[in-house]
Amino acid sequence: MEAHNSQIEARQPHSRLPGFGGRDEKRVAKLLVAPGQLLLAFIVLFPAGVAIYIGFTGWSPTSGDDFWHAYRHWHWFDGYWEALTSVTFWEAMWRTVLITVVCVTVEAVLGFALAMLLVKNFRGRGLVTVFFLLPMMVVPAVSGFIFFMLYQVDGPVNGALSAILPGVVQIEWLQNANVAIWTVMTVDIWQWTPLMFLIFLSGLAALPEDQVNQARILGAGFWQQLRYLTLPMMKLIILIALIIRGLEAFKMFDPIYLLTRGGPGEATTNISIFLFDETSVATRWGYASSVAILVLIFVSIAGYWAIRPIERAQEETLEELAGAEARAAGAGPRIEEAIEAEAQI
């Protein structure tokens, strides 16, 4: 009897600890990620399957056949071939890349300069930061509309230029095919420079002060500090900022649509606008699917190259952290404070 009792007592704490055994934990883990997996399957697997299928056809909802009978228009790779040999497609790709590169570069340089200006605490810094925060909060479609107003030929931008320059300035910001693409970029730059600014501000604020002071004492001037200290130490943060912003700029749609709808002609048609037009204006859904698949492939490859440096930088950081920790185990100081902040991704 006593032996029996003690057995129960011995087992009880164990049974009250679900999750500490390996099998249980795996089951819980699977359960936890299930809803997310379902959601992803719904918006990735289904559309991908549908797109691959429809992409092999020349189906259009105006063809008289419904979705289930799209196979009647089967034509294998004709859609892909059409896209790859289409000047319009490649021009749209080229514009997408141009917009992405220019926007992200300008945003990064401007944001970094601003962060350098504001990194030292001063009166009213909070207010200024809030000011810079606001553009980020604007619904992108709305920012497209705002700049649509600003860039009217009789609008305030030309008005301001007329006040400064001699004569009446009547630049056709949105109607001139050579100007419009740059006009479109200003919206993205206005809206997202603040993000770059905030990212870099937090990076600069986390730079170890002693190292900067040491560099000054060793005779480094402003540009030398920037070149040899600030930029290398912020490498990871800068990389993260560029990649994240680059991915977003690549997808840009709303502001362009509100500003120019891709026009005049196709002067501001990037890949997103191109796809949208093929779907909703031309209703060539089979062709649109082929293009969508092409874009997904392209982005996947680009994304692979984009994420790799982050992973590499993170490995290096972890290594440095491990080294710093090993030293800190003694009485040593935590050397790597800057990188600690960004050790996440």
Smallest separation (angstroms) from another protein to the CB of 176: 18
The reply on whether position 98 binds another protein by CB under 8 A is: no
Of positions 48, 102, 106, 119, contacts another protein by CB under 8 A: 48
The reply on whether position 256 binds another protein by CB under 8 A is: no
Q: For residue 74, which phi and psi values (nearest 5 degrees)?
A: -55, 130
Smallest separation (angstroms) from another protein to the CB of 47: 4
Contact 208, 174 (CB under 8 A): no
Contact 57, 75 (CB under 8 A): yes
The reply on whether position 150 binds another protein by CB under 8 A is: yes
Of positions 14, 156, 265, 281, contacts another protein by CB under 8 A: 156
What is the spatial distance between Cα 270 and Cα 315, in angstroms, rounded to a whole number?
A: 35
**Residues 1 to 30: which contact another protein by CB under 8 A?**
16-20, 25-26, 28-30
Judged by CB under 8 A, the number of residues near another protein is: 137
The reply on whether position 114 binds another protein by CB under 8 A is: yes
Site map for another protein, 264-303, x if CB under 8 A?
-------xx--xx--xx----x--xx--xx-xx--xx-xx
Of positions 65, 82, 91, 254, contacts another protein by CB under 8 A: 254
Interaxial angle between packed helices 177-205 and 87-118, expressed in degrees from 0 to 180 and rounded to the nearest 10: 40
Q: How would DSSP label each residue in 92-158?
A: HHHHHHHHHHHHHHHHHHHHHHHHHHHSS--TTHHHHHHHHHHHHHS-HHHHHHHHHHHTSTTSHHH
Piece of the chain touching another protein by CB under 8 A; list 2-10, 31-39, 87-95, 174-182: 31-39
What is the spatial distance between Cα 184 and Cα 249, in angstroms, rounded to a whole number?
A: 11
The reply on whether position 99 binds another protein by CB under 8 A is: no
What is the spatial distance between Cα 333 and Cα 189, in angstroms, rounded to a whole number?
A: 41
Of positions 35, 64, 166, 167, contacts another protein by CB under 8 A: 35
Piece of the chain touching another protein by CB under 8 A; list 2-10, 80-88, 99-107, 316-324: 316-324
What is the spatial distance between Cα 227 and Cα 223, in angstroms, rounded to a whole number?
A: 6
Cβ-Cβ contacts under 8 Å for 177 (sequence gap 6 or more):
264, 265, 267
Contact 99, 270 (CB under 8 A): yes
Nearer to another protein, 2 or 36 (CB): 36
Nearer to another protein, 76 or 231 (CB): 231
Nearer to another protein, 1 or 318 (CB): 318
Nearer to another protein, 3 or 300 (CB): 300
Site map for another protein, 50-89, x if CB under 8 A?
xx--x------x----xxx---------------------
Of positions 154, 164, 166, 178, contacts another protein by CB under 8 A: 154
Amino acid type, 70: A
Of positions 7, 11, 21, 39, contacts another protein by CB under 8 A: 39
Closest alpha carbon to 286 in 85, 96, 72, 88 = 72
Piece of the chain touching another protein by CB under 8 A; list 41-49, 74-82, 83-91, 174-182: 41-49
What is the spatial distance between Cα 136 and Cα 197, in angstroms, rounded to a whole number?
A: 11
What is the spatial distance between Cα 60 and Cα 73, in angstroms, rounded to a whole number?
A: 9
